């Protein structure tokens, strides 16, 4: 059964720092991997989608990498801002339209 973990569970950094969030999954047979952002009491917003054949994706200050063979993905946030404060979740899609398996999330606080 696919399991997803995220490290750290919580992170607090001063504004301007570069930071890395980690995601690990137990079964490398994935369709894709997505990183989401969740603000308190809100739904999820997709940040980056990495197909299983890709190694990384970039959007603005965000860069996500995928190493299927080792079951790992990282989300790199450059020059963090207080507006980046949120919970970040990674999810692997086992097969299209069947299931996303989510990690527990990393709660990020960026201090002004």
Partner 1 sequence: DGGITQSPKYLFRKEGQNVTLSCEQNLNHDAMYWYRQDPGQGLRLIYYSQIVNDFQKGDIAEGYSVSREKKESFPLTVTSAQKNPTAFYLCASSVQGLSAFFGQGTRLTVV
CB of 46 to partner 1, least distance (A): 4
**One residue of 49, 54, 63, 72 binding partner 1 per CB under 8 A:** 49
| Contacts with 42 (C-beta within 8 Å, 6 or more apart), sequence order | none
Q: Does 64 bind partner 1 (CB under 8 A)?
A: no
Q: Beta strands 32-38 and 10-14: pairing type?
A: unpaired
Q: Beta strands 106-111 and 10-14: pairing type?
A: parallel
Please classify residue 102 by burial: count the beta carbons closer than 10 Å to its beta carbon, then call 0-12 exposed, 13-18 middle and 19+ buried: middle
Cβ pair 104, 21 in contact under 8 A: no
**One residue of 12, 70, 99, 109 binding partner 1 per CB under 8 A:** 99
**One residue of 14, 43, 60, 112 binding partner 1 per CB under 8 A:** 43
Q: Does 8 bind partner 1 (CB under 8 A)?
A: no
Q: Does 73 bind partner 1 (CB under 8 A)?
A: no
Cα distance between residue 91 and residue 69, in whole Å = 16
Residue nearer to partner 1 on the CB measure, 18 or 26: 26
Residue nearer to partner 1 on the CB measure, 80 or 100: 100
Residues 16-35 that bind partner 1 (CB under 8 A): 34
């Amino acid at each position: 059964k696919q399991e997803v973990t995220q490290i750290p569970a919580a992170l607090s950094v001063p504004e301007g720092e570069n930071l890395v969030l980690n995601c690990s999954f137990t079964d490398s047979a994935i369709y894709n991997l997505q990183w989401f952002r969740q603000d308190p009491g809100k739904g999820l917003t997709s940040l980056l989608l990495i197909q299983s054949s890709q190694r990384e994706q970039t959007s603005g200050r965000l860069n996500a990498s995928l190493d299927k063979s080792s079951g790992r993905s990282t989300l790199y946030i450059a020059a963090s801002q207080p507006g980046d404060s949120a919970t970040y979740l990674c999810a692997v899609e086992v097969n299209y339209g069947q299931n996303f398996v989510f990690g527990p999330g990393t709660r990020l606080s960026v201090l002004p």
